[in-house]
């Protein structure tokens, strides 16, 4: 009989992340725009997460990205909030403004409105910053409605933390 497979991969990803961060004595910070705190919520769903989850920034507006994460307003003006430079700056800002050693940032167009030809609904930029390492960034185009785009973003953010 095949082993039971969990329908929702989030708990498994979070447990793996918890084990990895705890083993290193590291903590995580999140900087979220389009997910509105869903990554932090997934992490803190696990009992004991206070040992490895340091803080989450929900920076939905451009002003919040600037005020809370130190993202240069000129960077947002030049590239738009949904862009590689802004995602990188968000992740690096989360590291700089926390006690965490690793951070993930997401910014995107979850829809159903807000898309454009250059950045259609489902466009998400993710960035992962680790103290002392170069920040990684990735553009994804997720299919589906708002809930599906947000859920896919949470999954990819956690997968990226484990890669």
Residue-range domain boundaries for the chain = 28-162
Using the predicted structure, report yes or no on whether residue 10 has a pLDDT greater than 60: yes
DSSP structural state of residue 4: P
**pLDDT over 90, % of the chain:** 95
pLDDT of residue 85: 98
pLDDT band, residue 7 (cuts 50/70/90): confident
Using the predicted structure, report yes or no on whether residue 25 has a pLDDT greater than 80: yes
Q: Is 160 in contact with 138 (CB distance < 8 Å)?
A: yes
Name 69's Cβ contacts closer than 8 Å, sequence gap at least 6.
31, 57, 59, 89, 90, 93, 94, 97
**pLDDT over 70, % of the chain:** 96
Alpha helices (runs of H) in the chain, residue ranges in sequence order: 10-24, 38-44, 62-69, 73-79, 84-96, 146-162
Judged by average pLDDT, the poorest of 2-6, 62-66, 107-111, 139-143 is: 2-6
DSSP structural state of residue 44: H
pLDDT of residue 52: 98
pLDDT of residue 96: 98
Using the predicted structure, report yes or no on whether residue 4 has a pLDDT greater than 80: no
Q: Averaged over 105-128, what is the pLDDT?
A: 97
Q: What pTM does this model have?
A: 0.94
Q: Averaged over 51-77, what is the pLDDT?
A: 98
CATH number assigned to the domain with residue range 28-162, chosen from the 4 options 3.40.50.2300, 2.102.10.10, 3.90.950.20, 3.30.420.40 = 3.90.950.20
Q: Averaged over 18-34, what is the pLDDT?
A: 98
Nearest in space to 127 (alpha carbons), one of 96, 153, 99 = 153
CA angle 108, 155, 58 (to 5 degrees): 50
Q: Count other Cβ atoms within 10 Å, centred on residue 66.
A: 18
């Amino acid at each position: 009989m095949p082993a039971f497979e969990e329908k929702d991969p989030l708990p498994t990803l979070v447990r793996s992340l918890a084990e990895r961060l705890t083993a290193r004595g590291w903590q995580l910070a999140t900087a979220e725009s389009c997910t509105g705190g869903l990554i932090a919520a997934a992490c803190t769903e696990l009992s004991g997460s206070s040992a490895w989850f340091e803080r989450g920034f929900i920076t939905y507006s451009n002003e919040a990205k600037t005020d809370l994460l130190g993202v240069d307003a000129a960077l947002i003006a030049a590239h738009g909030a949904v862009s590689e430079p802004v995602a990188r700056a968000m992740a690096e800002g989360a590291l700089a403004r926390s006690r965490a050693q690793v951070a993930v940032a997401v910014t995107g167009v979850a829809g159903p409105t807000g898309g454009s030809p250059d950045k259609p609904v489902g466009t998400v930029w993710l960035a992962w910053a680790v103290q002392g390492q170069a920040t990684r960034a990735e553009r994804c185009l997720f299919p589906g409605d708002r809930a599906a785009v947000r859920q896919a973003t949470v999954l990819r953010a956690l997968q990226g933390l484990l890669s």
